């Protein structure tokens, strides 16, 4: 935890709270090694998050592309200073 405190300039209690939340959420594992606790990422929940993000990105990208196409098709041609199109 000391390494994280130094690297991110966050207090040890704050780091401990964040790590506890990640551990409780199943995103990190923390087997105890004597007096040290070594944290490591748990890949399965992260993979599930990645799949969810991918599905939602595809869902919204299609809709945003359709909206962009619609908005571009509805744009009126702008007139120049001399009244020409």
Q: Where are the domains of the chain?
A: 1-41, 43-74
Confidence (pTM): 0.55
pLDDT of residue 84: 59
List the pLDDT tens digit at each of the 85 positions of the chain: 778 888 888 889 999 999 999 999 999 998 877 778 888 899 998 899 999 999 999 999 999 999 999 999 998 776 667 665 5
The span from the CA of 7 to the CA of 72, in Å, is: 47
Task: Determine the 3-state secondary structure of 40 from DSSP.
Answer: strand
Q: Which residue is listed with tokens 């405190």?
A: 5
């Amino acid at each position: 935890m000391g390494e994280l405190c130094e690297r991110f300039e966050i207090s040890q209690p704050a780091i401990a709270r964040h790590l506890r939340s990640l551990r409780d959420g199943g995103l990190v594992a923390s087997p105890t090694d004597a007096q040290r606790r070594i944290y490591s990422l748990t890949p399965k929940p992260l993979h599930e998050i990645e799949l969810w993000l991918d599905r939602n990105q595809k869902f919204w990208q299609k809709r945003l592309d359709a909206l962009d196409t619609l908005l571009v098709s509805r744009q009126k041609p702008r007139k120049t200073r001399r009244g020409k199109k």
